[in-house]
Structure formats: structure tokens, C-alpha cells
Amino acid sequence: MSKAVQKLDDYRWLLPQDYKPGMRVPGIIYADEALMEAIMKDLSLEQVANGAFLPGIVKASFAMPDIHQGYGLPVGGVVATNVTDGVVSPGAVGYDINCGVRLLRTELTKEEVRPRLKELVSALFHEIPTGVGSRGRIRLGRKEMETPLLTGAAWAVKQGYGEPADLACMESGGCLPDADPEAVSHKALERGSSQLGTLGSGNHFLEVQTVAEIYDPHAAGVLGLFEGQVTVMIHTGSRGLGHQVCTDYLVEMERAIVKYGIELPDRQLACTPWNSREAKAYLGAMRAAANFAWNNRQCLAHWTKEVLLKVLGISPRALGLSTVYDVAHNIVKVEEHEVDGRRMKLAVHRKGATRAFPPGHPELPAHYQAIGQPVLIPGDMGRASFVLVGTGAMEQTFGSTCHGAGRVMSRHAAIRAAKGRVIHRELEDQGIIVKASGWESLAEEMPEAYKDVTQVVTVVHRAGLSKMVARLRPMGVIKG
DNA sequence: ATGTTC
């Protein structure tokens, strides 16, 4: 019976190490009974087990309650490898390097914005490039790409997009050090050259929201959030540039596993020893792509502010827009963690998982030291999104929590299920104005295609990975 | 996620 998944408590499940011969550590899944049922329907658990084969993995292959099947590792997976004898795996980061979420606060209430909402959503949709292959107003030559890739969002701020204060409100200050633009292929640079300040497609969105409920008044106060307030959430990543970096290095990793004799149950997890030439190159390129994504969200936030000012016809002071935080949920980072009582330097791969460091952690900005790292959880466009803060994830999951709702329907299944329905009308009946590039992109993303995000965050809250601060309700959404 | 099967 040990070969089956075992329930540890109300929110934790164990995938024993003998679930699949060759696992170096067990798997741990965070979920309640209902979410576990959904998780067992695809190959997620198999992929959690496969992650446990990665050389140098420590503690366990972790999965968050929003996991679903992905490329190699499930989306919602966390694996940490020892940097002395472990590996780095692009499939355990994902195609959309530094896919992430940014939350902006305003001084406005929903009553003040509601009368202009339709106009606002139309203007945002008009001004912000959305959809696959969308191009923005910034055009950079290959040489001009170097600084944004090296210096992160500080580049956008220097260009006049946003303010220096934004940088302190971003994970890692909006820049991963040791990025190497030279390790990014010409093809990747070319794809990225016109994509700064573009939203993309799929589950990426820009949403005008209102704070519907506060669970933790102290943390909400520190974050500048109050009930009835209007916020803006931006969910996007590194676009074609990051996708191309992942594609390029997966080819390289295929060669590396042969060269270094690494055996894996799934080639999609192809990886390379941490101290190899291939790892150095991938990490340099991955960090450059992460910095591109931070610039992308920085530019999008700036244009969002411009549109808000123009449509609402108010002063910047009356708008009171500022950055609450900006998180990366597809990334690999070198961090120090305690494992079996020993401090270790680890490569923490978070693929569809959010860092959630506790209060007092040295990597947090001074103004958030008391509350812990802000966690931004985008839900579906009909229900809710959440703000949480880090609590006790350090001892459990290398300081990681969930990243979203997680799909329950494939894109294809969602389109089939939505046939004959008018999704934007259904949402409008609930007071949510949606603009998307087409019927299909809305059908793929309809609320029923996702798990209930409230259920997901309840699990991470009760399991002590992070603490619920506020629930945000969608008012207006633009989608690729 | 993605110039959505170079």
C-alpha cells in the first residue's frame, strides 16, 4: 500500500519514495480532499514523482494545491537542488520565465470608478497591446537590449516608465544579478525587441479590481489596501524572449544529459550539473529573461497609469497610484535554506509557485519587514484574486506557496464546454466588463476552466505556507 | 506560456 499517495493531514499528502523506483526524495502535495480529487485526474502526481529524480534534490518534490500537468514538472511544483552536486532544469522553471504578477493600488473607491468603467476598459484594451505576437511601442535593437536584460526594471525607470520607488516594491528589486545577455540567442533577442510593454495571451491579463474583503487589517494597512478600494493587477511574463530562451536551452539540456550521463524518467526534465558550462549559460540567459519580464510589467504599469489619468481626468495625486508588489512565479533562484539542521545553498526552482518569505527575512524591503513577503494570487476573471503574506513556508517548502487557481479544464475542453455561450455577457451580468481579442480566448479562460481560487488559498493559509490578507474582486478585465 | 506544429 505504500506505493499509493498517503494522506498526512487535512492539507498534506505524501508520495512515498518507493512510489516510483529511482526517486531520490519523496513527494509532498498540499491539497484538501476535493482538490486532491482534481489533481489525480491528470499526470500531475507522476510529474511530482519525476521531479524527485533530479540529481541533488533535497527534502522533497513539492506541489502546491493549484498544480496541474505541465512540461516536465507540473505547474505548481517546487524542487530545490544542492548547488554543490545538483542540477538545474529549464523544464522545472517553465517556458514563461518570470511569469509573474504586479499589483497596483490607487486612492480611488469602486464607486468613483464604476461610472467610467466601460470607457476605462476600452481605453486599456486600446492602449495596451494584447494577444499572441503583439508588439509594443518600444522598439529596441539587439545592442539596446543589453541594459534592460542586465539591470532589470531599473532600465525602464531610467527611461521614464514609473518611479524609482517601484523598484523597492518588486521581488529581488526587479533585477536578478549575474544575467548574461550574451547567452540569449539572436532569435530570442529579436522576438523580444518589440515586446516590452505587451500583455501576451492565454491566462495573462490586466484587471481593474476592488478590495472586497480584508482578512488581516494590519498587513493590509502596511500594504496600503482598504475595503472598496480600486486596484489593478497585471499578470504577464517574458513573452517571446523567455519562451525562446527556454526552447534554446532545452535543446542544450538534451545534449547535456547524454554528456553527463544523467538518467531521468522524462526527457522534458532534461537538466545539467550546476557547475557545468551549460548551467552557467542557461542561468545567465534565464536571469536576462527574468529581467526582461520585470521591465515588461514596469512598462505596462506606467501605461496603465497614463490611461487611468486620462480616462478619469484626475491628477496623479488624486489617483494615488503606487506599486504594492511584483512577484515572479516561474523562476530558479539561488537561496540559502536550512535542511536537516544545516544551512545549504540551493537552486530553488519555482514553477507556478510564489516565494513567500516570512517577516524579518533580509531579502524583504524595509517597509515589508514586519508583515512578510507579499504574495499575489491571480484567480479567474469571474471570481476573485488574493493578496497573502509569507508565514511559515521556510521550514516547509523553501519559502514557497501557490501561484494561482490552477486549471481544471484543458484549453480545448474549455472551448468545447463554452460552445453556444456568450462569456463576456455572462460576466457583464455580474458587473464585470471584459475585453478580449476573440471569443475563443475568453472561452479558454472562463471561470469554470479553473479551480476555485478561494479553495486553493484556504489550503496554503491553513497549512501555514502564507496568510490571507485581502480578497480582490474583478471589475474590468483585458485579455489576450 | 508561445510569431498557438521551425
> Which residues lie near nucleic chain B, judged by CB under 7 A?
A 71, 95-96, 99, 131-133, 187, 190-191, 195, 200-204, 236-237, 239-240, 243-244, 480
Q: How far is the CA of A370 from the C1' of B5 (A)?
A: 50
Q: Which nucleotide is nearest to A201 (CA to C1')?
A: B1
Q: Which nucleotide is nearest to A195 (CA to C1')?
A: B3
Q: How far is the CA of A248 from the C1' of B6 (A)?
A: 12
Q: Look at residue A3 and tell me whether its pLDDT is greater than 90.
A: no
Q: Which residue is nearest to nucleotide B6 (CA to C1')?
A: A247
pLDDT value, residue A270: 98
pLDDT value, residue A56: 98
Q: Which nucleotide is nearest to A438 (CA to C1')?
A: B4
Q: Which nucleotide is nearest to A94 (CA to C1')?
A: B1
Q: Look at residue A59 and tell me whether its pLDDT is greater than 60.
A: yes
Q: Which residue is nearest to nucleotide B4 (CA to C1')?
A: A132
pLDDT value, residue A86: 97
pLDDT value, residue A85: 93
Mean pLDDT of A301-328: 98
Round to whole Å and give the CA distance between A162 and A171: 16
What is the maximum alpha-carbon separation in chain A?
Answer: 66
Q: Look at residue A1 and tell me whether its pLDDT is greater than 50.
A: no
Digit-coded pLDDT (tens) for A253-288? 999 999 999 999 999 999 999 999 999 999 999 999
**Phi and psi at residue A345, to the nearest 5°:** -90, 120
pLDDT value, residue A343: 97
pLDDT value, residue A46: 97
Digit-coded pLDDT (tens) for A24-43? 999 999 999 999 999 999 99
Q: Which residue is nearest to nucleotide B1 (CA to C1')?
A: A96
Burial class (CB in 10 A: 0-12, 13-18, 19+), A333: buried
pLDDT value, residue A480: 85
Residues of A annotated as part of the active site = 403
Round to whole Å and give the CA distance between A226 and A387: 12
**Phi and psi at residue A95, to the nearest 5°:** -70, -40
pLDDT value, residue A433: 98
Q: Which nucleotide is nearest to A407 (CA to C1')?
A: B1
Q: Look at residue A393 and tell me whether its pLDDT is greater than 70.
A: yes
What interhelical angle do A277-312 and A117-127 show, nearest 10?
Answer: 140
Q: How far is the CA of A378 from the C1' of B5 (A)?
A: 30
Amino acid code (one letter) for A218: H
Q: How far is the CA of A247 from the C1' of B5 (A)?
A: 14
Mean pLDDT of A92-97: 98
The average confidence (pLDDT) of chain A is 97
- Which percentage of chain A shows pLDDT scores above 90? 98
Q: How far is the CA of A191 from the C1' of B2 (A)?
A: 11
pLDDT value, residue A437: 86
* pTM across the whole model: 0.98
- State which nucleotides on strand B lie below 7 Å from a protein beta carbon: 1-4
Q: How far is the CA of A144 from the C1' of B4 (A)?
A: 28
pLDDT value, residue A389: 98
Mean pLDDT of A400-424: 94
